[in-house]
Amino acid sequence: MADKATQRECNILFLGESQSGKSTLIECLKKYADPDYIVNRLNIGDGIFSYTSNVIKTTINTNLPTSHVLGKQEERIDYGTFLEGDQEDYEDELNERRKYRMEREESNSDQVTFNLYDTPGLNEIALFDEKNIAIIFSALEKEKVPSINLVIITIANNPFTEDLQNALKAYINLLPDLNGNIVFVHTKIDYSKLHPQEEQFVLTLKEKKRILHHLMGRDTVPHVLIDNDINSTRVIRNCMTQNKLRELLAIAKLNQPIPLQIMYVNKTEKMRTIEVILKQKCDAKITALEAELLGKNETMETVLARRLQIENVIAMLEQDLQTVSRDLAFYDKETLELLYEERYDQAWSMTKISEPRTAMYYPGRIISASSGFISHTLDLIDIQAHNIEVMRTAGGVGENHWAVQFRRECFQNGVFHVKIYIKKSKMYVREIERLRTQELVIKSTILELQSECQVCGAEGQEIPVEVQVVMEELGKWRHILGRISAQRLHLGVFQAVMDADVYVRDDSVSAANLESHFWEMKTKIEELEESARLFAMSLNQDEETLELVDSDEHVEDPGLFAEVEEKDARREAEEAEALALDESRKEAAPSPFPSPNRSGNVGESQYSILVFGRTQAGKSTFIEFVRNYANPDHAIDKNLIGSSNFSKTETSKEFIVTSDLPSHEVCHEDSHEPIDTEVLCQSCNNMDDYADAINNKKTTCRLAQQNSNHLLERPVTIKFLDTPGINDTNCRDVEHAKRIIDGMLNVKSFNLIVVIVNIKHPIHREQRVAFNYYSRVIHALQGHLSNVVFVYTHVEYKCRHHTNINHHEALDRAHRAFSCLFREGAQPSEDGVSDLAMMTQESDMDLYPRYVIDLKKHRPICKCMMQETIRDILRLAVTTPAASFNMSKENLDRVWAMEHPDKKNYEAREKKAKEEEFRKRQQAEAQAGVEKKATPIPLTDLIQPDDSPNAQSADCQGWDIPDWCKSVLGIVSDRGEDCDDGDDEEERREKEETGPKEE
């Protein structure tokens, strides 16, 4: 096991979407390292507007202490066991402030310095991804950062849009050397969602992880779920956060540092598009110069012409040799590459709460010569174990397998994290062999040509000046062609190219700049690459063997792995049965909405409300709670409610409610005395006391006394139009815009236009542009925007307390910004969006009405507050005159002529998808019936279990424990010793023929 205690300084880079919690997470880490630190609120955003505009360095020192929860008798509380209770009881324990206290247990390890580098949001700066990366690493270079230990990518609990996925993919692909040091931190996570009964949250998190793993190219990436609430006073919640912060720093300490001096950057699609233009020019120049050289050779003596012809071929081969040598220097080095990574922490509670023990093993099946896999041995195994009892291990460094059996000592903080490395020269052995063969052939050919050149006997003859000029020009263009043909750039070369703004201008201009840049910096680029090669050779990788556990001392049950396997199989069968039942219910359930073409009740409604907003803002949830308000017997249909991450509504839908708009009140359960919620708010001294008061279980929500102030004279019928979300996670905004406008034209008039805004979603550029587009569409249809109201969702009612000044100020700024976007005749600025500073500073601007609501399962007081908010919105709709649309042909033509802001992106994505499909079809046709050539295949892609991308663990669905692992651990295979492997071979052959299973 590698000793990481000698690592005294770690560098952590923070990347993520704007307002995803990067700066807040850094403030939490500073508070973790120094409990007396006072959080600087100027360093963090408010969840709506971004504050970080450049790279900021922060340094902390800590020895990674652990936090514990103590009860009234000073006993330690294992808060993980609370998950076994009811969800509501679990939430009550998490919110407890007085029954527990937190204790900080200092570690015996040495102090470690952590340098934290905060960066601007991925999608907030109007620059290319390449330029953003160059800015970040230029700042690191100025700070003289030698290496990176950890890259934290923050993922907020917001819609997981395709634009965000593309940004993450671009950053991950740009920096392949950092792939093994990435951890995803899911921020703004309510710890009560970790309860097993929160099935929707678990499924959503699983889908988000699947997408992130696909972007990473591997399935074993660490994930940490954290609620970085700096205002929390809840003991257990704070203890969980403190220990998760410790886990993050421990991962940084565990990781092998990646030196910036040997880092390479993969070329992006934007860079390749520019290089294609330059390549065409290079090919044309080289062809013309070779023709010119051939013409000059015809005028010279035969011997001299032959010599020049040979030297021209040698120059071409030497350029090819440089390309091969660069690729060899990249692959054939002794630096360590991550082969396998697995981590178990509290998240395994989502698989099996009552199962405290498990196993890991690598690889998933034995490597044999017949299978075609490359034989290799493991070079380094790093392990972090906290509150874990290791029962048994097998294999390790110097062998081609590794296995461990362990169990957690404490549920709440049990962590086992392993990272297995091999040398890069082993991982890419096939590519190295191919390149060495090429190198040998080229060198041999050059030697033969040089010998022939000497034999021809033209050494003493002088080459004409005009011929020398042509040959020098030919060498220049071959050098440029070799550079643009490379798959990657050294980080230093990449930064130099970005500093010259080569790739961020018009394609043709960029191609011209790239041409001069590669030639003028020829010497500097070669020096950078040679320096990186020498530095890689000088790295002294420590190889320490894994410390094996004494099997006689730690083995309790020789059949433990078989028992775990049996339990996993049983659990998988139960999950499959439950999933099949759920799908059958969905298919059988009738549609809750009437058809848009249905006659009758739809045409008799007196009032109409348009509901629209960003995806996952809570539109469908709002409508479901309106239906429940109008009909208390209506059960909230969870199938219609999104997961907070992925879009669900795809078409505009109409539905109708009928109600006399009753009022509600809350009263004490025992005395039945009404509770004035406004007085209750003013009577509490702080937000935490107010939160405890409104979560009081001993209250009841009921209909208010029936009088003229509470009821209408007669029930009213209101038609609602639900619409697809703006900024759709699947990039269908252009398609949805047509559906939204069609739905609006079908209704023809609205009393109220309700804009739903999730207050926890930052106001990104794409959202501002989209909202401005719809404001112009609505203004064109009805001639004004006076019937617009904003409903801000996901606002916890405890936040409305008068002491929470930050929340009220942030809400005011957000509402001012959206009101500016929806002003009559509002037009975007030059960059397509109105300036946020202008939005939030105009004091004389008319603001639209606004409401705040928290659409989730509530205790009685909060439920009453939500019902009253819905009633106020419906009463406003009833008292607001309907605004009819101008349905003239000229006006409709003008509306449809408005170009959607995402149209160009949509067309570009469509074009890219068609090109990708065409490219794959060409590759398939080219490879049909042809034996595959040797390619650089990492062992992580070669050594796989039958149905998984990397290794496997006993808690992973669909994975079986391999026989080699059972044998080295002394476990008898349940197939028997004499069982033939023919069935397995048939299964393997069948999978190879049918291909991998579709996800």
pLDDT digits (tens, 9 = 90+) for 131-164: 788 888 888 888 889 999 999 999 988 878 777 8
In a domain, 95, yes or no: yes
Structural domain count, the chain: 4
Point out the domain boundary residue: 214, 244, 260.
Answer: 260
The whole domain housing 407 covers 336-427+934-994
Which of these ranges, 69-78, 137-146, 263-272, 978-987, has the smallest mean pLDDT?
978-987
Contacts of 717 (CB under 8 A, 6+ apart): 601, 604, 605, 606, 607, 656, 657, 658
Name the packing angle between helices 522-538 and 491-499 (round to 10°): 150
In the listed set 260, 280, 306, which residue is the last one of a domain according to the structure? 260
- Is there a single domain that holds both residue 781 and residue 657? yes
Q: Same structural domain for residues 63 and 130?
A: yes
Phi first, then psi, for residue 16 (nearest 5°) are: 160, 170
Provide the pLDDT confidence category of residue 14 given band limits of 50, 70 and 90. very high
* Average pLDDT score over residue span 409-431: 85
Q: What is the pLDDT of residue 152?
A: 95
**Which of 500-504, 698-702, 990-994 is predicted least confidently?**
990-994
Average pLDDT rounded to a whole number, residues 68-73: 90
Does the pLDDT at position 848 exceed 70? Answer: yes
610 bridge partner residues: 721, 753
Residue 426 has pLDDT above 70, yes or no: yes
Weakest-pLDDT range from 27-36, 637-646, 692-701: 637-646
Q: What's residue 533's pLDDT? A: 77
pLDDT band at 182 (very low <50, low <70, confident <90, very high): very high
Q: What is the pLDDT of residue 565?
A: 52
Distance, CA of 691 to CA of 798 (rounded, Å): 5
Average pLDDT, the chain: 77
Asked if residue 126 has pLDDT above 90, the reply is no
In the DSSP assignment, the letter for residue 816 is H
Could you tell me if residue 901 is inside a domain? no
Residue 101 domain-assigned (yes or no):
yes
Q: Which of 846, 864, 881 is the last residue of a domain?
A: 881
pLDDT band at 505 (very low <50, low <70, confident <90, very high): low
Of 128-137, 356-365, 609-618, 875-884, least confident by mean pLDDT is 356-365
Quick check: is 912 in a domain?
no
- 185-194, 480-489, 644-653, 963-972: least confident range: 963-972
Q: Which stretch of 170-184, 578-592, 704-718 has the lowest confidence by average pLDDT?
A: 578-592
Give the least confident one: 45-59, 206-220, 548-562, 784-798: 548-562
pLDDT of 47 reads: 56
The lowest-confidence range among 348-362, 531-545, 974-988 is 974-988
Same-domain status, 673 and 651: yes
Residue 177 domain flag: yes
The answer to whether position 81 is within a domain reads yes
| Buried b or exposed e, range 667-706, using 16+ CB within 10 angstroms | beeeeeeebebeeebeebeebbebbebbbbeebbbeebee
Quick one: 531 and 613 in the same domain? no
- Shared domain check, 436 and 417: no
Residues 633 and 619 occupy one common structural domain: yes
Tell whether 528 and 480 lie within a shared domain. yes
Per-residue pLDDT at 665 exceeds 70: yes
Q: Are 875 and 982 part of one and the same domain?
A: no
CATH number of the domain bearing residue 633: 3.40.50.300
- Of the two residues 88 and 989, the one the predictor is more confident about is 88
Could you tell me if residue 571 is inside a domain? no
Q: Please state the rounded mean pLDDT for residues 624-632.
A: 91
More confident residue, 417 or 295: 417
Question: Do 417 and 438 lie in a common domain?
Answer: no
Residue-level pLDDT at 850: 93
- What is the share, in percent, of the chain residues with pLDDT greater than 90? 21
Question: How much is the average pLDDT of 523-550?
Answer: 62
Task: Report DSSP state, residue 726.
Answer: B
Which pLDDT belongs to residue 749?
93
pLDDT 10s digits, 823-847: 754 554 444 444 555 555 555 667 8
The answer to whether the beta carbons of residues 687 and 807 sit under 8 Å apart is: no
Tell me the helices (H) and strands (E) count for the chain, helix number first: 30, 31
Same domain flag for 347 and 485: no
Taking 70 as the threshold, does the pLDDT of residue 944 lie above it? Answer: no
Helix runs in 100-222, H state only:
129-142, 162-174, 199-216
Q: Do residue 490 and residue 439 come from a single domain?
A: yes
746, pLDDT greater than 50: yes
- Residue that wins the pLDDT comparison between 616 and 304: 616
- Tell me, yes or no, whether 596 lies in a domain: no
Residues 248-253 have a mean pLDDT of 94
Query: Greater confidence, 677 or 922?
Result: 677
pTM for the whole thing?
Answer: 0.77
CB 622 within 8 A of CB 853: yes
Q: Are residues 423 and 433 in the same domain?
A: no
